[in-house]
């Protein structure tokens, strides 16, 4: 299992996707300008049960990152199987 720490500088988009058998929140990672031309983007996703919970999670993650905090994620391939937010900040 792989572990990464993400912040707003790395997460360029947060997308709610409809997939066969469910929904996903996808975090698109890339470097900011002027380094973006040589970087490789990476999509990491979290499975969610329905669109409403997915939208709530996307808004929560976006607000958390906008406040300047980091998110620790644990990956299985490109799927985020666990993420940690500082509970005292939420």
Going residue by residue through the chain (90 aa), what tens digit of pLDDT does each one get? 789 999 888 898 999 999 998 999 999 988 666 665 666 778 999 999 999 999 999 999 999 999 999 999 999 999 999 999 876 554
CATH number at residue 23: 2.40.50
Residue 18: inside a domain, yes or no? yes
Residue 89: inside a domain, yes or no? no
Residue 79: inside a domain, yes or no? yes
- Is-above-0.85 flag for pTM? no
Residue 90: inside a domain, yes or no? no
Long-range CB contacts for residues 77-82, cutoff 8 Å, separation at least 24:
78/42, 78/43, 78/44, 78/45, 79/44, 79/45, 79/46, 79/47, 80/27, 80/44, 80/45, 80/46, 81/1
Total domains present in the chain: 1
Residue 47: inside a domain, yes or no? yes
């Amino acid at each position: 299992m792989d572990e990464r720490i993400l912040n707003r500088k790395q997460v360029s988009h947060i997308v709610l996707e409809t997939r066969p058998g469910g929904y996903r929140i996808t975090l698109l990672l890339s470097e900011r300008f002027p380094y973006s031309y040589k970087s490789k983007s990476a999509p990491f996703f979290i499975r969610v049960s329905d669109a409403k919970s997915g939208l709530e999670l996307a808004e929560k993650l976006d607000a958390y990152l906008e406040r300047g905090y980091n998110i620790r994620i644990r990956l299985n391939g490109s799927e985020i199987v666990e993420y940690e937010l500082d509970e005292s900040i939420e």
